[in-house]
Structure 1
Amino acid sequence: MRLLARLGEDLETVRRRDPAARGRLETLLVYPGLHAVWAHRVTSRLWRARGLARVLGARTVARLLAHAARGATGIEIHPGALLGERLFIDHGMGLVIGETTVVGDDCTLFHGVTLGGKGGVGARGRRHPVLGHGVTVGAGAAVIGGVTVGAGSIVGAGAVVTKDVPEGCVAVGVPAVARPRRAS
Structure 2
Amino acid sequence: MRKILNYFKEEINFIMENDPAAKSALEVLLLYPGFHAVLWHRIAYFLYNKKFYFLARLISQVVRFFTGIEIHPGAKLGKRILIDHGMGVVIGETAEVGNNVVIYHGVTLGGTGKDKGKRHPTVGNNVVIGAGAKLLGPIIIGNNVKIGANAVVLKDVPDNATAVGIPAKIILNSKAIDKNASDGDEVCQRGFEEFEEVSA
Q: Shorter chain as normaliser: what TM range?
A: over 0.9
Q: How far does the alpha carbon of each residue in 1:9-68 deviate from its partner, in whole angstroms, 9 at most, with x for none?
A: 11111111111101111111110110000010100000001xxxx3xxx11000000000
Between the aligned residues of both structures, percent identity stands at 47
* Structure 2 equivalent of residue 23 of structure 1: 24
Q: 2:94 aligns with which of 78, 89, 100?
A: 100
C-alpha deviation, 1:8, in angstroms: 1.6
- Scaled by the length of structure 2, the TM-score of the pair is 0.85
Q: For 1:180, what is the secondary structure of its paired residue?
A: strand
Count of residue pairs the alignment pairs up: 175
Q: For 2:135, what is the secondary structure of its paired residue?
A: strand
CA distance in 1, matches of 2:40, 2:177: 36
Q: How far does the alpha carbon of each residue in 1:130-149 deviate from its partner, in whole angstroms, 9 at most, with x for none?
A: 00101110000000000011
Q: How far does the alpha carbon of each residue in 1:59-100 deviate from its partner, in whole angstroms, 9 at most, with x for none?
A: 100000000000111100000000010011111100000000
Which residue identity does 1:40 align to in structure 2?
H
Q: How far does the alpha carbon of each residue in 1:85-122 deviate from its partner, in whole angstroms, 9 at most, with x for none?
A: 001111110000000000000011000000001122xx
Gap runs ≥5 in structure 2: 179-200
Gap runs ≥5 in structure 1: none
CA distance in 2, matches of 1:140, 1:85: 22
Q: 2:64 aligns with which of 63, 70, 73?
A: 70
CA distance in 1, matches of 2:47, 2:152: 32
* Structure 2 equivalent of residue 47 of structure 1: 48
CA distance in 2, matches of 1:60, 1:29: 27
1:163-174 aligned at under 5 Å gives the runs 163-174=155-166
